[in-house]
Structure 1
């Protein structure tokens, strides 16, 4: 019987996904757990809570401090657990977030929320492509990756768009860096904008409408949760609903982008190179809707809900801590000036243009 040489068998073995080893993820999960405990403890201090610094916001701040000081030395032991928290625990936390909502609340966001999300997605991505290629003379892939991350759901959208474009790894890294930088800034900026708007009355937003504005303009799901929580529970709920609608637009966006590439390159060539088979469907967004539907049926005992919501908060805080641990100041240098300028202009558009679009849609259809 024919057998592979030892070195080839070892190489083949390394290409097969290995089962998750709990001993390798425990250190990272323990670290994010300790950061979460510190964040929850600090969030109870009135001086911090009055500033809108929630447990999620504090978790990412503490994570960023540790991530840029002590964490590099511990990364070999903690990296797998931190990655698990940043990816899987975040998705589980978003799924469980559906227990805070009912379809009646989702209906309150309604068609206006869908319209706002669609307008923000199309306008932001189109602006990224035009500015990136015409003004900053960036290549198509970098412009589109930054545009996808800014207009849909941050790093997840960048990673999902990469196989469609067949983009190089360094371009993906640059796009993810811009998303992390400006999305993290939004966590602190949006609660402050809410307070300023309450004083100066720039736009006539209720807490729920400001939540829709947050969900339709902030990059990452976790960042939306943290920013919304820094405003109010009503804003947080509306923000998450609007954001999840936006996330679910990822699949049709990728299909349309694939079709556009196919039209430009030829159907056969694009079918081979644009990664059509690798399109990522955001299943956690669909599960979020299913959990919200289940919660609307009022089947679970009411005594279970507070415990499950507490668990959800812990999971989200651990994900935020992991996001902070992996956010490095060096990302500013790595991204380069032109991609950073493009992402900065998109960030300004999301804030100012997003406020205008939200105000217009609420005025016409609200």
Structure 2
């Protein structure tokens, strides 16, 4: 595929990303949610012109590149600073969220295994980034990725409004509110925003807790790769098989995390990388939004949102009760 063939679609992605960032700056809506909405509206109204399809289809590459760069924002030192108790809470809540979503999806709402797994990963770890990472390991379909991403982003938009209201209503301390947001909300951006909206202390705890939770993405990808390899009829996968199942961008994520942990990146370099992967995600989500078709959404129904909402209410309530008892 030549650059000339890709250029029109790439330009469309850039325009959509710039529009999403502009809307966020003016109105305050989450730019990622706006980006996926832009793709969705275009695909379901005027449709995607033929000449744009090749360039827009590169959205998977931009997602992968963004995940690799996201490793620069996670350091081992930051994870350790959160303390053993908070790390234990992070692991328990993340595992509990994944388990609850899986059980609800499979046994209560009858959602297919892979879509349920994407919803579980997105809810339990780090939002759309986890959806994409797990999707590569379990060979999920494009429409499943799109539905899971849209559902996660929907609840990002909801929680960024609801959590501060609850924090003020209950008079939560900065530590409790920050850790609660970090362990139960989905994506990093909304977590940090909500934390610092409450207080400086809450923002610091929310950020550290969420980064510790993000670091579990590799473990979850390996676990899902192992499960789906076995369920496909084979024996327990070997280490080599698991390595082949793990997308290259996940390995890149860990590699950059090690580089950041070694102090080889300056503060300005890390800030620049974070800005860059933010734009890459916007490009990707505009393209991802075009994969969502109303006809298919009608067949899927509201079940994915109901599953995630049920798990979110349950897990956030229990985790808040635990945090109030501990701190």
- Equivalences for residues 50-199 of structure 1 within 5 A: 53-74=29-50, 75-85=52-62, 87-96=63-72, 98=73, 104-136=77-109, 147=120, 150-152=123-125, 153-162=130-139, 172=141, 175-199=144-168
Paired with 2:19 and 2:64, the residues of 1 have a C-alpha distance of: 22
TM-score by length of 1: 0.66
* Residue deviations 1:70-100 (CA, integer Å, cap 9, x gap): 4522542433333322x2332244234x2xx
Q: CA deviation at 1:276?
A: 5.4
- Equivalences for residues 1-366 of structure 1 within 5 A: 21-45=2-26, 48-49=27-28, 53-74=29-50, 75-85=52-62, 87-96=63-72, 98=73, 104-136=77-109, 147=120, 150-152=123-125, 153-162=130-139, 172=141, 175-201=144-170, 206=175, 208-214=178-184, 217-218=185-186, 224-228=187-191, 230-231=193-194, 234=203, 237-238=207-208, 240-254=210-224, 257=227, 278-280=244-246, 282-294=250-262, 297=263, 300=266, 304=269, 306-335=271-300, 337=301, 340-341=302-303, 343-363=304-324
TM-score by length of 2: 0.72
Paired with 2:189 and 2:2, the residues of 1 have a C-alpha distance of: 30
Relative to 1, partners in 2 of residues 1:70 and 1:107: Cα closer, same or farther, differing over 3 Å?
farther
* Residue deviations 1:47-80 (CA, integer Å, cap 9, x gap): x23xxx2544443343433343345225424333
Relative to 1, partners in 2 of residues 1:231 and 1:61: Cα closer, same or farther, differing over 3 Å?
farther
- C-alpha root-mean-square deviation of aligned residues, in Å? 4.0
* Residue deviations 1:184-236 (CA, integer Å, cap 9, x gap): 2112111111232133228656563244134xx52xxxxx1443355356377
Structure 2: which 5+ runs fail to align?
A: 197-202
1:154 partner SS: helix
Paired with 1:201 and 1:144, the residues of 2 have a C-alpha distance of: 33
1:44 partner SS: helix
